[in-house]
Amino acid sequence: MATDEEKQAYREAYATWQRHLEALHDFLLEGKPPATGVELPAAIKGLLNRESRSKERYDEARRRLIGVDE
């Protein structure tokens, strides 16, 4: 059984990934420009990097939660 700490880490990682994924989808699917003060290419790179890093953290938290090592 997962510890409370592992469960909390999983929930937080999932919520963060979903928030970053939604921001990326807003741009890619809905055409909403990123709300930043930087030029568009840098803003797009930022959206992609944030989503990618948060997905990696979510995957790690999920593996810890279910007890699977990569």
- How far is Cα 35 from Cα 50, in angstroms, rounded to an integer? 14
Task: Please write the tens of the pLDDT for every residue from 17-27.
Answer: 999 999 999 99
Contacts of 32 (CB under 8 A, 6+ apart): 26
Segments forming the whole domain that contains residue 25? 4-66
Task: Please write the tens of the pLDDT for every residue from 2-54.
Answer: 899 999 999 999 999 999 999 999 999 999 988 777 788 899 999 999 999 99
Contacts of 43 (CB under 8 A, 6+ apart): 33, 34, 36
Instruction: Provide the whole-model pTM.
Output: 0.87
Contacts of 30 (CB under 8 A, 6+ apart): none
CA dihedral 8, 12, 13, 17 (to 10 degrees): 160
Number of structural domains the chain divides into? 1
